[in-house]
């Protein structure tokens, strides 16, 4: 597969994925006038943390409002180039997570001083509104000039999901609930690389199937784009075969 030979193809296979981006715009833009809209993000954060305990980064590929924005709105505008390695290096992911959480926590603690006052909910909501707006702008620019899901490769919420998922695995729960990308038979694979060329995260499943014929990569967002576009139809999502 050529370095930048990535394909723009349909990634929205449900109503949520097709129109979820409206939530991002509602909060990030509408929240500038109605800050309490930002409080809805608390529900999003709780949902992605809980679901990832059982299913890994499934939320990213199927329910994330920003993911919908990147896949539906930004994809047609994107240069769709290779995501630079340093943007998803361990140093970048850990460093940005610490930076993001430090600033986010600092803002929350400052707002907590207003507890009990009339402006408390507005100020608290506005913290989430500005965070959503920042992701919309920064993630949108990265999506246009590099690849739609560039932001997602080092997204702090993605890091939170991976931590939650690792806890689920450590407790022996996630292995029973997670569904992994599975190939019917590796000998049937054409090694065409199309699964990699359509992958929003630019992963390479066809090169990484295990002895159980499964793709065990914590960054797989289980969006099923590769399943939908496999030319021989031998990909699906099934539970862990090693347990």
For the record, the structure tokens of 57 come out as 């980064």
**172 found inside a domain:** no
Average pLDDT, stretch 170-196? 94
Our measurement of the distance from residue 75's CA atom to the centroid of its chain's CA atoms, rounded to an integer in Å, reads 15
Distance CA 217, CA 94 (A): 18
pLDDT at 243: 58
Same domain for 150 and 63, yes or no, is yes
| pLDDT (tens digit per residue) in 58-104 | 999 999 999 999 999 999 999 999 999 999 999 999 999 999 999 99
| pLDDT (tens digit per residue) in 185-226 | 999 999 999 999 999 999 999 999 988 899 999 999 999 999
**9 found inside a domain:** no
Same domain for 81 and 157, yes or no, is yes
SS3 115: coil
For the record, the structure tokens of 159 come out as 């890091």
Residue 4's pLDDT band (cuts 50, 70, 90):
low
Domain count, the chain: 2
pLDDT at 241: 72
- Residue range of the domain that includes 157: 15-166
pLDDT at 240: 82
| pLDDT (tens digit per residue) in 20-41 | 999 999 999 999 999 999 999 9
Question: Considering only CA atoms, which of 169, 153, 27 is closest in space to residue 92?
Answer: 153
**Contact in structure between 234 and 184 (CB atoms under 8 Å):** yes
**8 found inside a domain:** no
**152 found inside a domain:** yes
Same domain for 142 and 198, yes or no, is no
For the record, the structure tokens of 214 come out as 């499964």
**173 found inside a domain:** no
User: Of the residues 120, 142, 166, which one is the last residue of a structural domain?
Assistant: 166
């Amino acid at each position: 597969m050529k370095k930048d030979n990535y394909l723009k193809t349909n990634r929205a296979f449900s109503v949520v994925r097709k129109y979820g981006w409206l939530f991002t715009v509602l909060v990030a833009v509408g929240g500038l006038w109605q800050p309490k809209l930002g409080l809805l993000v608390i529900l999003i954060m709780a949902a992605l943390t809980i679901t990832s305990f059982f299913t890994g980064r499934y939320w990213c590929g199927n329910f994330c409002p920003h993911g919908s924005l990147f896949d539906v709105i930004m994809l047609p505008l994107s240069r769709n180039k290779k995501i630079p390695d340093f943007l998803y290096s361990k140093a970048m992911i850990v460093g940005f997570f610490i930076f993001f959480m430090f600033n986010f926590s600092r803002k929350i603690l400052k707002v907590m001083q207003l507890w009990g006052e009339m402006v408390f909910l507005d100020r608290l909501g506005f913290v989430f509104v500005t965070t959503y707006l920042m992701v919309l702008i920064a993630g949108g620019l990265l999506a246009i000039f590099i690849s739609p899901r560039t932001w997602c490769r080092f997204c702090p919420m993605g890091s939170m999901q991976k931590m939650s998922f690792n806890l689920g695995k450590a407790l022996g729960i996630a292995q029973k609930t997670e569904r992994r990308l599975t190939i019917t038979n590796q000998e049937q694979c054409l090694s065409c690389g199309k699964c990699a060329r359509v992958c929003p995260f630019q992963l390479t499943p066809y090169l990484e199937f295990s002895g159980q014929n499964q793709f065990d990569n914590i960054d797989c967002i289980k969006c099923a784009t590769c399943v939908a576009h496999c030319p021989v139809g031998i990909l699906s999502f099934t539970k862990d075969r090693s347990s």
